[in-house]
Amino acid sequence: MAETDRTFFDYLVYVSENHSPLDFMLVADHIDKFFYGTLLTIEITLLALLIGGVMAIPLAIARAYRHRWWNGPIFGFTYFFRGTPLLVQTYLVYYGLAQFDFVRESFLWGPILSSPWWCALITFSLNTAAYTTEFLRGAIENTAKGEIEAARACGMSPARMMRRIVLPSAFRRALPAYSNEVIFMLHSSVVLSTITLQDILGVGRWLNGRYYLAYEGFITAMLFYMALVFIISRGFRIWEQHWLGHLRARTTVEG
């Protein structure tokens, strides 16, 4: 039995190396590295979305209500991070800050600013915070006036109305746009490979470079990204059906 298995394995290696356009056996030998890259990609992407989402809530509220002192600076923040490529932002943080002596001599340099992982997390968090702030601001501004008037008629304070009426309503309406932001952040995570981190694309580039391949690593990375996008899309579709179920048309049964 073992000899039969060995013969079949040798046959797969022969087909992979000589007759297949993709050396799938070589990819299979290093599939563990792609899973490691996937974990790194998911880790930084999820943490950045969490931190950026928490940051975006107060920023969006200040923007929606045109806060006298904060509206201008917040607009400048969102305009900068939405108007420049994420790659440039990451380079400015990872390579740019190291050019200043006071940064290298600060207490933040050793544990945080000299680490590519932390630099990527900081940049990604600020970037997604800027995008989330703007579409959440729009959702807050478009809250139905009837909902606000009903909350005021019930005697709710502005803070309570924001917590119980405005934000939940805005979150529901912003959910489809946020699903696109999550996928966008996942795609943008390819920037990680440019600052020495072995994300999915970084592993693919490593595989191609080590074995002088043209596309095996890139195709494998593409398949991993497609699988993650499929999971995200399905997850948000289920979430939308749960949160937005009351907006679906209901069929009436005539008795």
3-class secondary structure, 196:
coil
pLDDT at 244: 63
pLDDT of residue 255: 45
Has residue 7 been placed in a domain?
Answer: no
The separation between CA 76 and the C-alpha centre of its own chain, rounded to angstroms, equals 22
pLDDT tens-place string over residues 216-231: 889 999 999 999 999 9
The answer to whether position 42 is within a domain reads: yes
pLDDT grade for 52, boundaries at 50, 70 and 90? very high
- Per the domain annotation, does 8 fall within a domain? no
What is this structure's pTM?
0.87
The whole-number pLDDT of residue 6 equals 59
What's the mean pLDDT in 8-23?
58
* pLDDT number for residue 13: 59
**Full domain range(s) for residue 169:** 31-189
Instruction: Please report whether residue 12 resides in a domain.
Output: no
Q: In terms of pLDDT, which residue wins out, 105 or 56?
A: 56
- CA gap 182, 171 in Å, rounded: 15
Q: What is the pLDDT averaged over residues 90-119?
A: 88
Q: How many structural domains are present in the chain? A: 1
Residue 254 pLDDT more than 60? no
**What per-residue confidence (pLDDT) applies to 158?**
84
pLDDT at residue 21 is higher than 80 = no
Which pLDDT band, with edges at 50, 70 and 90, does 53 fall under?
very high
N-to-C CA span, the chain: 67
Which tops the pLDDT comparison, 198 or 19?
A: 198
pLDDT score recorded for residue 5: 55
CA dihedral of residues 92, 94, 98, 102 (deg, nearest 10): 80
Residue 211 lies in a domain: no
Would residue 215 count as lying in a domain? no
Residue 1 has pLDDT above 50, yes or no: no
Local confidence band at 120 (pLDDT 50, 70, 90 cut-offs): very high
What's the CATH code of the domain at 38? 1.10.3720.10
Residue 79 lies in a domain: yes
Within-domain flag for 230: no
Mean pLDDT to the nearest integer, 93-105: 87
Mean pLDDT of the chain: 86
Going by C-alpha positions, the residue among 130, 151, 136 that lies closest to residue 64 is: 136
**In this model, does residue 19 exceed pLDDT 60?**
no
